[in-house]
Structure 1
Amino acid sequence: MPESHNPAAIRQTMTGSDWGLLATLSLVWGGSFLFNGVAVRELPFLTVVTLRVGIAALALHVILRIMRVALPRGRRVWGSFIAMGILNNVIPFSLIVWGQSHIASGLASILNATTPLFTVIVAHYFTTDERLTGHRLMGVVVGFVGVAVMVGAAALAGLNANVLSQIAILGAALSYGFSGVYGRRFKSMGIAPLATATGQVTASSVILLPFALYIDRPWTLPMPSLAAILSILGLALVSTAFAYLLFFRLLARAGATNAGLVTFLIPVSAILFGVVLLGETLEPRHIAGMALIGAGLLLMDGRVLSAFSAKRPAAHGSG
């Protein structure tokens, strides 16, 4: 249902601090690929996902206590937390991990980068201040092409195989699109980003725990290595607890469409982590892809096009 009113309308153009939040968020979510890669070698995916949101929830509850911030009560608020947890954690986390077990990570990252496409469409129909414009659509398309160029043609080798896995990743991207739009309501409800993040991962933990206990029977698993344990902690504390504090703050300030742009930057972060930490090579296609992603972000922001449009009449008149 479209929003009928919005007392604090979302900014169409992001500020410098908004871009800083977006870049930081891309780093902490880009790092999750490293953490996941280690953890899933020793633990089932449902256990990994449940530990991720469960430990994050515990950490955020501790922060709430330290900062003396009360977690909202009431059926309506917790109904919203549950819905957000399902859209932003339970569905996408499960679909992505299952999908990546059948297709290459490069192809998965391309499919996941369709999130801004879905977000633009969902926001157009379900909000009043994030309508679809030409420069937004152009920016999303250019950014998506940049992701495809950066990841490379080799990732498309299995495009026609494992169709269900590919649909699963696209389903996760669609779920993220809806979660970005749905999550805007917490600002109008007067709920702080810290409380929103805590409520969401708490609801997700309660939903996922029974499934992980029943399906994975984690008490029967061998003790994971120190590397796996540290990866789970990094995944929970850095790539979930801290990440969602950033995400909900950015969502409240810049809207679902702009917040969804982080999925363009996550592959950039992942590649840069590989270069810096793993000694991988930065290839020309990586640089070209990053340049296209940067161009797409500038188009989405709109200020470059606005400045260019403003100069054109003046130039015409002076001739």
Structure 2
Amino acid sequence: MQDSVTQQEYKNFFQKNINIIICCIFCTALWGSAFPCVKLGYELFNISVDDIFSKILFAGGRFFLAGILVLLIATCIQKKFPTLKKEALKGIFLLGFVQTTLEYVFFYIGLSYASGFKGAILNPTSTFMMVILAHFFYKDDKLTFRKTLGCIVGFIGIIIVNLSGDVSGQSSFLGEGCLIISALAFALGSIISKEVTNVEDNPMTVTGYQLLIGGAILIVLGLIGGGRLNVTSINAMLLFLYLALLSSIAFSLWTTLFKYNPVSKVSIFNFLTPIFGTILSALILSEDVFNLRNLIALTLVCIGIYIVNKPKEKEIVN
């Protein structure tokens, strides 16, 4: 009798959260596709490995366009152009600077010095960082043994994936180091986002202005540094548009999910990002990712994230 009740409780829990599950999977699939597509974008726009400011300009254009797209969609939905509350201005500017400018300055630099697979597997370190930050920001989300164990297991995976010959000297810092800093910016941005949406009710408005502000700063930085974009083909423009749409859709959904759901309930799905990133890196970039070391590392990262975010039984019952 107890078993049937338990099975029904799990079924009810799944049905109640099916929309959240679908949206989270969709977001992580989009973000997973970004790793190989960004590297492909460098090739199509003739951006060399050491041309840092052109990469920053590339990022700025992508997110500025994404912000415009989000605001246009919000305008169509609301039948008027979305405006910001005065009390939300400071928070949205900070969010745009941290989760768009800082995150993607380091992301774009790091990805040019690391494989698409490493980009995909290092990015989820933001989940562990969010667990640690939540300890200081939220009284009801303190570190526990389970969360600590999950972080340890996940970081063992991070160490394993970096035990290769290409991790040395400057390349290691500019590649893996920048990707980890990017993950920290995403973690900080997620917490800021949850606070900002408590002031500004519409998540799409928050996302649109965040991307617009952060993208504009990136464009200015790229131009000041002498960055240039060379449009070489229709394929290059189509890829650029896809990356902008990717950001506008994924960030809008993610911001909405964080506004109406606990951080841990949404964060559990971050483990899907490296899986999608790994598969798509193999398909698009023809990278050799399916070796024993990388598969073990990826498995450990996924297990670590699951342990950190595993729901308690009372959450399923409720």
Q: TM-score, normalized by length of structure 2?
A: 0.77
Distance in 2 (alpha carbons) for counterparts of 1:280 and 1:207: 33
Superposition CA RMSD, Å: 3.2
Q: Does 1:63 align with 2:73?
A: yes
Which of 20, 26, 29 aligns to 1:27? It is: 29
Q: Does 1:129 align with 2:140?
A: yes
Report the count of equivalent residues: 290
Q: Does 1:301 align with 2:301?
A: no
Distance in 2 (alpha carbons) for counterparts of 1:279 and 1:40: 16
Distance in 1 (alpha carbons) for counterparts of 2:144 and 2:20: 20
Deviates more, 1:76-85 or 1:126-135: 126-135
Rate the CA distance shift 1:259–1:63 in 2: closer, same or farther, 3 A: same
Residue 23 of structure 1 and its aligned partner are, at CA, apart by 1.8
Distance in 2 (alpha carbons) for counterparts of 1:249 and 1:202: 18
For structure 1, the residue ranges without an aligned partner over 5 or more in a row are 1-12, 311-319
Give the share of equivalent positions with the same residue, in percent: 18
AA at the equivalent of 1:245: S
- Does the CA-based 8 Å contact 2:127-2:267 persist in structure 1? yes
1:89-168 alignment runs, 5 A limit? 89-146=100-157, 151=161, 153-154=163-164, 157-159=166-168, 161-162=170-171, 164-165=173-174, 166-168=176-178
Q: TM-score, normalized by length of structure 1?
A: 0.77
**Helix, strand or coil for the counterpart of 1:195?**
helix
1:1-319 alignment runs, 5 A limit? 15-41=17-43, 42=45, 43=47, 44-68=54-78, 70-146=81-157, 151=161, 153-154=163-164, 157-159=166-168, 161-162=170-171, 164-165=173-174, 166-216=176-226, 218=228, 221-238=229-246, 240-261=247-268, 263-275=270-282, 282-283=290-291, 288=296, 291-303=299-311, 306=313
Distance in 2 (alpha carbons) for counterparts of 1:80 and 1:130: 22
Residue 120 of structure 1 and its aligned partner are, at CA, apart by 0.9
- Does the CA-based 8 Å contact 2:103-2:183 persist in structure 1? yes
Distance in 2 (alpha carbons) for counterparts of 1:194 and 1:268: 27
Alignment-derived partner of residue 7 in structure 2: none
Distance in 1 (alpha carbons) for counterparts of 2:302 and 2:278: 15
Deviates more, 1:137-146 or 1:110-119: 137-146
- Does the CA-based 8 Å contact 1:81-1:200 persist in structure 2? yes
Rate the CA distance shift 1:257–1:244 in 2: closer, same or farther, 3 A: same
Distance in 2 (alpha carbons) for counterparts of 1:210 and 1:292: 40
Rate the CA distance shift 1:142–1:211 in 2: closer, same or farther, 3 A: same
AA at the equivalent of 1:72: T
Rate the CA distance shift 1:211–1:274 in 2: closer, same or farther, 3 A: closer
Residue 131 of structure 1 and its aligned partner are, at CA, apart by 2.3
Residue 147 of structure 1 and its aligned partner are, at CA, apart by 5.8
AA at the equivalent of 2:96: G
AA at the equivalent of 2:220: P
AA at the equivalent of 1:185: E
Distance in 2 (alpha carbons) for counterparts of 1:284 and 1:39: 29
- Does the CA-based 8 Å contact 1:56-1:201 persist in structure 2? yes
For structure 2, the residue ranges without an aligned partner over 5 or more in a row are 1-13, 48-53
Rate the CA distance shift 1:288–1:137 in 2: closer, same or farther, 3 A: same
Rate the CA distance shift 1:295–1:113 in 2: closer, same or farther, 3 A: closer
Alignment-derived partner of residue 51 in structure 2: none
Distance in 1 (alpha carbons) for counterparts of 2:178 and 2:300: 26
Residue 106 of structure 1 and its aligned partner are, at CA, apart by 4.3
Residue 140 of structure 1 and its aligned partner are, at CA, apart by 3.5
Rate the CA distance shift 1:181–1:143 in 2: closer, same or farther, 3 A: same
Distance in 1 (alpha carbons) for counterparts of 2:281 and 2:116: 14
**Helix, strand or coil for the counterpart of 2:142?**
coil
Residue 167 of structure 1 and its aligned partner are, at CA, apart by 3.5
